[in-house]
Amino acid sequence: MAKYGKSAAKNVKSAMHRKKRGTLKSGSGRKVKSRKQAIAIGLNEAREKGAKVPARKRSRKSSRKSSTKKR
């Protein structure tokens, strides 16, 4: 079973081309320089369009920190 759909791949490819041309902007409006950031933006755009893309990984709650402070 494929993890990503074809339309998701097209979105990532488009984002990479825009990065190379220097027209891809991040959420804050700055120019994207990182390859990884360009891929993330492409996947996010694909998610918004309803393409087959897995959900983002969620961060875990820091329950360890609170238990160590009690000692």
> Mind listing the pLDDT tens digit for each residue in 17-35?
999 999 999 999 999 999 9
Q: Which residue has the higher pLDDT, 45 or 71?
A: 45
From the number of C-beta atoms within 10 Å of its C-beta (0-12, 13-18, 19+), residue 41 rates as buried
pLDDT-based confidence at residue 38 (cuts at 50, 70, 90): very high
- For residues 26 and 32, the answer to whether their CB atoms sit within 8 Å is yes
Specify the range with the lowest mean pLDDT, choosing from 6-15, 19-28, 62-71.
62-71
Cα 25 to Cα 34, 35, 54, 62, distances in angstroms: 11, 13, 23, 32
Report the pLDDT value the prediction gives residue 35, as an integer from 0 to 100: 95
Closest C-alpha among 28, 30, 31 to residue 19: 31
Q: How far apart are CA 10 and CA 15, in angstroms?
A: 9
pLDDT at 45 over 80: yes
